[in-house]
Structure 1
Amino acid sequence: MATSVGQQDAQTRPRSLIRTRPLAPLIGVEILDVDLRDELSRDLFEAIRDAWRANCIILFRNQTLDEAAQVNFARRFGELGSVLHKHNGRSSLPGVMYVSNIRENGELIGALPDGEMYFHSDQCYIEHPSDGTMLYSMEVPSVGGNTIFANMFAAYDALPDAMKQKLESLRALNVYDYENAATIRGSEPNEGVPSFAHPIVRTHSTTGRKALYVNRLMTHHVLGMDADESDKLLTYLFDHQEQPRFIYEHVWKPGELLMWDNRSSLHARSDFSAAERRLMRRTVVVREH
Structure 2
Amino acid sequence: MVQLTSVHPLFAAEAKGVDLRRSLADAEITAIVAAIDRFGVLVFRGQHLTDQQQVDFSERLGPVAFTRQMDRPGHRLRIDPKVGDISNLDADGEVMMGENRRRLDALANRLWHTDHSFRRTPATYSLLSAHAVPSSGGETEFADMRAAYDALPASKQAALAPLVAVHSIETSRAAIGFTDFTAEERAALPAARQPLVRTHPGSGRKSLYLAAHAGAIEGIPTPEGRMLLLDLTEHATQPQFVYRHTWNAGDLVIWDNRCTMHRGRDFDPTERRDMRRTTVSEVAPLLPQTEIS
TM-score computed with the length of structure 1 as normaliser: 0.83
The match for 2:172 among 167, 178, 181 is: 181
Contact kept in structure 2, 1:29 and 1:59, CA below 8 Å: yes
Distance 2:276 2:233 in 1: 28
> Identity over the aligned pairs, expressed in percent?
34
Q: Secondary structure at the match of 1:230?
A: helix
Contact kept in structure 1, 2:68 and 2:84, CA below 8 Å: no
The match for 1:89 among 64, 77, 80 is: 77
Q: Alpha-carbon deviation of 1:84?
A: 5.1
1:8-27 matches, cutoff 5 A: 17-27=1-11
Matching residue's letter, 2:197: V
1:206 counterpart = 2:202: yes
In the alignment, which residue of structure 2 is the partner of 1:64? 48
Distance 2:272 2:180 in 1: 31
Q: Report which of the two has the higher share of strand.
A: 1
1:68-217 matches, cutoff 5 A: 68-83=52-67, 85=69, 88-92=76-80, 94-105=81-92, 117-177=110-170, 181-182=172-173, 184-185=175-176, 192=186, 194-215=190-211, 217=212
Q: Secondary structure at the match of 1:34?
A: coil
Q: Secondary structure at the match of 1:131?
A: strand
In the alignment, which residue of structure 2 is the partner of 1:259? 254
In the alignment, which residue of structure 2 is the partner of 1:273? 268
Any stretches of 5+ residues in structure 2 without a counterpart?
Answer: 284-293
Any stretches of 5+ residues in structure 1 without a counterpart?
Answer: 1-16
Distance 2:66 2:17 in 1: 31
In the alignment, which residue of structure 2 is the partner of 1:237? 232
Moved more, 110-119 or 76-85: 110-119
Matching residue's letter, 2:239: P
Deviations 1:41-63 (A, max 9, x none): 22222111100111111110011
Matching residue's letter, 2:79: S
Distance 1:232 1:151 in 2: 21
Going from structure 1 to structure 2, the CA distance change for 1:228 and 1:182 (only over 3 Å counts) comes to closer
Q: Alpha-carbon deviation of 1:115?
A: 7.3
Moved more, 259-268 or 19-28: 19-28
Q: Alpha-carbon deviation of 1:138?
A: 0.4
Moved more, 217-226 or 100-109: 100-109
Matching residue's letter, 1:155: A
In the alignment, which residue of structure 1 is the partner of 2:17? 33
Distance 1:232 1:96 in 2: 35
Matching residue's letter, 1:173: V
TM-score computed with the length of structure 2 as normaliser: 0.82
